[in-house]
Amino acid sequence: MNAYPPIADHGMVGDLQTAALVSSRGTVDWWCTPRFDSPSLFGSLLDSERGGYCRLAADLAHEPGAVVRQLYQADTAVLVTRYMGPCGVGEVADFMVPLNTTARTERHRLVRVVRVVRGRLDFDLECRPRFDYGRAPHTFEELDRTSVVFRGPGTKLHLQVATAAGPIVLRRDGEDLVSRFTLEAGQAAAVVLTSDADDGPMPPPLSAEGISAELQACRGFWHTWLRSCTYRGRWRDIVHRSAITLKMLTYAPTGAPIAALTMGLPEQVGGERNWDYRFTWVRDASLSVRALIDLGFVEEASAFRRWLLDRLAAGGTASGEPLQIMYRVDGEARLTEEVLDHLDGYEGSKPVRAGNAAADQIQLDIYGEASDALAQTRDMGGIQGWTAYAGVLDWLAENWDRPDEGIWETRGGRQNFTFSRLMTWVAFDRGIRLASTFARPADVDRWRRVRDTVFAQIVERGWNADKQAFVQHYDTDVLDASLLLMPRVGFLSPTDPLWLSTLAAMDRELVSDSLVYRYNPEASPDGLRGSEGTFNLCSFVYVEALARAGKPQEARYAFDKMLTYANHVGLFAEEMGPSGEQLGNFPQAFTHLSLIAAALALDEQLDRVEESGPGG
């Protein structure tokens, strides 16, 4: 490996505890196991020489006109890479059987099924694992003619092959493995990678029947899960794909969604804005669960509600606040950030960071997102859950009026961010509703007074008369796309004159051909060098805001344009570069949840237009 594929040149497969990225080159170049936030086993996406990978692909180098295509089997997370050349047509199907259980396991299986449907093709297999982000050595042991084991510190990777087309010769290459084999039309083979603790039992021998059963189990899980989806709108395929992506980014044992599968992928190639997103942000997770609820997936909401109430009850945060902005998937509050100097970074984008120092930042908006998520459920976790939640709101009543780092986790100093105040208003508004709904004891009069005080402060200090818009914080005239959420959370009507004026100002300053920047970092320094692309979350929330502001046709055009930026299998990263290239960690939950919300809002508004008829 000596080159980096585009960030967007990947599909994702996962088992609800871990997941892997597979490029259209047939390379597994990202896989952390046994959890999303574990050290990488394959990490060539962050260092093409030292990171490790597993490649299984047809050799089309000498076939002029050959093409490679990648797709998902419909409504599943089975990823198929097809190889089509003059000499033959073949495909590799990658999948992991979902572990839809609260039981945590060290063992995870990535299955790669190869078959040829026409002609004859040669396939190359390389497996070069690199344990602990490429920092730890490993050993190679051949168990028999069809299986080998790689051993690293406390972890092993078992590779098995099977075919009815004749033996696949596995050759040792140092401490790695290489192989080359040929299949003809109608023939198939399987390569199975099983990661486990070093003392775990060896997996059973492979059989055609067993592999077929695993594939059917994977398909069956996703088909069954999607039956709960209530969406019947105009963009069913992409909404289903986004829902599957959010589900795959959720750690089933605790119900905690992560922000993205990867770490270190740059917001600007060659720049320093390279963060670890493999953790559970209260904000992102709350919005992800809201998107799934809106599609009819209630079990995910209940699991996250339990996780969130446990965090509220546990305390012990790095910031000293009642709630931390992010946690590990098991609820651990310590996310020490370290720089992996031995890794070159994606196309030289350094530093590569593991962990996230932003965990100890103060971001007051998270209390609003958490309250909004809890307001979507009918179960507050009993008296203990309510007591913990009400206690946090009582604390917030004393501590809301402070500068913080804001939603974008800037490292340029604390400010009185308008979005943080907006979500503080949401926290008290939803708390008042919950107290009434569940008839629970609460100082509702006090919460109401604070809610109204926050509202008045936002209108007085967050509004900039020169810009005729709500602005990023109280001491600036810089616009901020996070405020596109104002109508969704109910702070203002989507047709309120103040909101329409704000939307028009954002359209002038932050929107470029439907793509939306978070803010202007030159006008509002964030403590980091370099620039960034447009933010996909903001672009989809902009679509939603247009639709609700009575501009459904304009919103539909913007939405359709945004969909052209999806990759070949319907996935989005965090940002878009100037030439439409995907940037940042991938795939990004924020982007997919906002796509779902935009589709729902747009369907609703278009239905109203169609029902009213030509004269409506």
Among 64, 62, 92, 61, which residue's Cα sits nearest to residue 78? 92
**Which two tokens mark 599?**
């589709």
Which residues have a Cβ under 8 Å from the Cβ of 226 and sit 6 or more positions away?
Answer: 75, 240, 243, 244
Q: Estimate the crossing angle of helix 589-612 against helix 536-548, to 10 degrees.
A: 20
% of the chain surpassing 90 pLDDT: 84
Identify the helix (H) or strand (E) that includes residue 456: helix 444-457
CB neighbour list of residue 499: distance below 8 Å, 6 or more residues apart: 486, 487, 492, 493, 549
Looking at the predicted structure, is the pLDDT value of residue 521 above 90?
Answer: no
CA quadruple 587, 591, 593, 597: dihedral positive or negative? negative
How far apart are alpha carbons 439 and 275 in whole angstroms?
Answer: 43
Residue type, 189: A
pLDDT tier for residue 380 given thresholds of 50, 70 and 90: confident
Q: What is the distance between the alpha carbons of residues 432 and 416, in angstroms, rounded to a whole number?
A: 24
pTM score, whole prediction: 0.96
**Is the pLDDT reported for residue 528 higher than 90?**
no
d(CA 351, CA 150): 29
Cα angle value 111/114/118 (rounded, 5°): 160
pLDDT at 76 over 90: yes
Cα angle 576, 71, 256; round to 5: 65
pLDDT at 485 over 80: yes
- The predicted-structure confidence for 131-141, as pLDDT tens digits, reads as follows 999 999 999 99
CA torsion 148→151→155→158, rounded to 10°?
Answer: -10
Structure-model confidence comparison of residues 461 and 315, the more confident one: 461
- Is 606 strand, coil or helix? helix
Do residues 448 and 430 touch, judged by C-beta distance below 8 A? no
Q: How high is the pLDDT of residue 360?
A: 87
Q: Computed from CA positions of residues 272, 258, 286, 504, in that sequence, does the dihedral angle turn out positive or negative?
A: positive
The alpha carbons of the chain give a radius of gyration, in whole angstroms, of 25
Phi-psi region of 345 (alpha: psi -120 to 50; beta: other; left: phi over 0): left
Structure token pair of residue 548: 């609700």
Residue type, 8: A
Q: How far is CA 266 from the centre of its chain?
A: 15
pLDDT value of position 411: 66
Q: Are 469 and 501 in contact (CB under 8 A)?
A: yes
3-class secondary structure per residue, 517-539: CCCCCCCCCCCCCCCCCEEHHHH
Is 141 within 8 Å of 148 (Cβ atoms)? yes
Q: Which of 61-65, 218-222, 309-313 has the lowest mean pLDDT?
A: 61-65
| Whole-angstrom distance, CA of residue 253 vs CA of residue 17 | 8
Minimum mean pLDDT range among 352-361, 456-465, 590-599:
352-361
pLDDT at 614 over 70: no
Tokens of 192: 């199975």
The pLDDT tens digits of the residues spanning 90-109 come to 999 999 999 989 999 999 99
Residues 6+ apart with CB under 8 A from 347: 4, 266, 269, 270
